[in-house]
Amino acid sequence: MRGLRSLSLFELGILPTLEPIAALSHLEELLLAGGVWKHQKLACDLGPLAELRELKKLALHNVRGATDFGPLLGFNRLVWLDVATALFPVEEVARLAKRYPFWAKQRPWLRSHDYAETKCERCGGGQVLLLLRRKKAVWCPSCDTARLQKTLQAFEALFEERG
């Protein structure tokens, strides 16, 4: 187990601890996810993940219970990150974005609403999803341009360097 390089955990019921993962010091890929309908509940924080010094890829989907991204800020080799941003406090998402600029550049909190049948009622155009907690989720980028930009800028100001 200790030589394990890739690990996926999903639909396990409530996980009481992530402590055993800390021992997997060669781990390069970690997926923590719920199923389509279920959340992966954590009855613990993400602390043990801080030990995964070799981590290159990390996915957190449908994970509920952990709200501190502090343990995720020390991955010097990380090149790929996939986080369900809407499930976590915006301040924590901003910490990750500041630490991992490659991820911030992808703007993972803004997605096209491809799979929706609905179109904007006003202009008939496609919509976008803003995946940030306590923010309006579905936007029309054409009709709501100014308000969407303002909302995005308010969030991105949390981690962008002011020059």
As a whole number of angstroms, the distance between CA 48 and CA 22 comes to 5
C-alpha pair distances (Å), 33 with each of 66, 97, 103: 13, 20, 19
The residue range among 22-30, 31-39, 78-86, 117-125 that interacts with Zn ion, by the rule CB under 5 A, is 117-125
Whichever of 77 and 122 has its CB closer to Zn ion, that residue is 122
Q: Which residues contact 36 (CB under 8 A, 6 or more apart)?
A: none
- Distance, in Å, from the CA atom of 64 to the CA atom of 70, rounded to the nearest integer, reads 16
**Residue with Cβ nearer Zn ion (107 or 122):** 122
Establish if 4 lies at the interface with Zn ion (CB under 5 A).
Answer: no
Select from 4, 31, 120, 152 the one that contacts Zn ion (CB under 5 A). Answer: 120
CB 74 within 8 A of CB 50: yes
For residue 162, what is the DSSP state?
P
Q: Which of residues 132-161 bind Zn ion (CB under 5 A)?
A: 140, 142-143
In the complex, least distance from residue 126 CB atom to Zn ion, rounded to whole angstroms: 9
Contact indicator for 7, 33 with CB cutoff of 8 Å: no
* Residue 3 vs 124, nearer CB to Zn ion: 124
Residue numbers at the binding site for Zn ion (CB under 5 A): 120, 122-123, 125, 140, 142-143
